[in-house]
Structure 1
Amino acid sequence: MNRNVLSRRVIAGAALAALALTGCSSNNDTASDGDKLSGEVKVNGSSTVAPLSEAAATFYKETQSDVNVSVGTSGTGGGFERFCKGETDISDASRPIKDSEKEACAAAGIEYKELVVANDALTVVVSKDNDWADCLTVDQLKTIWEPDSKVTNWKQIDPTFPDEPLKLFGPGTDSGTFDYFTDEINGEEGASRTDYTASENDNVVVQGVAGTKGGLGYFGFTYFEENADKLKALKVDGGSGCVEPSLKTAQENTYQPLSRPLFIYVSDAGVKKEQVADFVTFYIERIDDIVLEAQYVPLTEEQKSTLQTEFDALKAAA
């Protein structure tokens, strides 16, 4: 993703959004209403969720300038590894925590709360030069991406497609996007062909697909929106016809099977720090502004209610 573009949009919108303070609950006033805080808030994990946390951090800086919120992107798996060692306060994740990661956290005495902060439409993209494909079925995607796939040409996908070499780009194995895609498309998390250009940096996938006529890749919807001038999003047929990825189809859950929730995980140790608790409270209170700024799919009212309840429970336990 073009982080400079994101930063310019976030900074430009911060002043306006700061005027639109909205709370999910009157019981969650942040310290930004008065007390000045300092210290660090350490966030790491999914590159898909990072734009949300970056937007939250930028908005928060307007009210708590002495708090340093750092947002790293080592992938969902890499983020959980650090989180379960107690190195971070918050872990961005584009999939739920795995059993093995739960065990690692438990062994280190790390307790946490899972908070859904947005929705996403995992997007399959091709080059703008691709004028033959507009929709792929789940079965076709499986044929392309399944382990030991021998598909190397678009004509192998559909005989009506041209004799054009297929070059694949996608997230690395530490990515929650990789886990989610392989589970939904190939039927098993982590099951994938390996002869593709893999990167935890989604911008590498963007550049690879955009620069290759026969290229194909996948990542979160916001990365497509940021690069819609150079990429084309394919519709996906999950059994009920071709559906395009969009804010509307993701929230209505009609873009199947590639609609998904996005998470932050907050540690109990982290929330005991005043600046971390204040930042997460701010994050929740301003979630509509943050999701809008980062161009993700907003939470439903039911999801927002659950988000507030879960965080209240975490604060009470701390």
Structure 2
Amino acid sequence: MKKIVLAGAVTAALSLGAVMPFESSGLINPNKVEASVLATPLPVDLPLEYVSGVDEYGLNKSQYKIDLGNRTGTLILKLYMTEKYPKNFADTLYADVKRNRAAGFTLMDSDSAINPENAKGLAAFDRYSPIYGDGSILPTFKYTSGFQNVGVNKKGERFIALGVYLNKNVNKGVYYLDTPNMATGHWSAKAYFYENVDVEKKVFNEVKRYFPLLDKVRWGVAELKHNQIGRLTMLKDTPLLKETAGRFNTARTLKKGEQYRIYGYKEINGKGFYSVGGGHFVEMNTNLAKYETPAKNKLRLVKILHEE
């Protein structure tokens, strides 16, 4: 009996040419590469709370609440319009964003949509939005800088990118995103946070590529691919098996120290084989190869990069 388990993309997505760098090779110094990778800041997910209420005019208002606690760092927001967003507003907003014009996004220190008299603006996410604060009648300068941009994710979905470096703690770290038409169901929003670092300009430059990350997700010296479930390191010279018509034949010999990405496995008559792509397999044998799985936070970052 055959049993096949594949995660996401089929193993054909990984050819033998996609072999990971050999950590034992003299061509690459793993320590130097790893140190470089570890020097790249990584974000964490932030929970968002959708709060609603009635303003002084009896109108229903909603905002996203963001709680950073006592932390400072770079706050990143990724906003998708849902199908519920009025089409005429959506078209206008996207057109404005593409021209780097105001969309009215601001970060506030209280629930400004419901209680505007108590709110002070912390950051405007574009150069046109004024900030009213400190009791001023006229717009004041931003308390800090912020950015607004637009991008397309790996699935082809357009999003609005917002980011701001918060170098001090205000309102015990509780902030609110304010924008026109922040109605229930109009937006799908995600929030991420780089603690203790100012990466505002860096993430702005990566909107079209990695946003909200700064680079591809690394595991050791190599990129952690989408739908990858593990990696295999040869402990001994090991046969690389090619399946043809349900039978295995040796394609070549894998050398000790070689590494491969693993996307799934196949079980035949109770015996397991790792799938390394292109119809090639390696026997599940702890004496022949060491199998490792990436940390959950690494897998989460890959999902952010490719699915959000």
TM-score, reference length from structure 2: 0.24
Higher helix share: 1
Higher strand share: 2
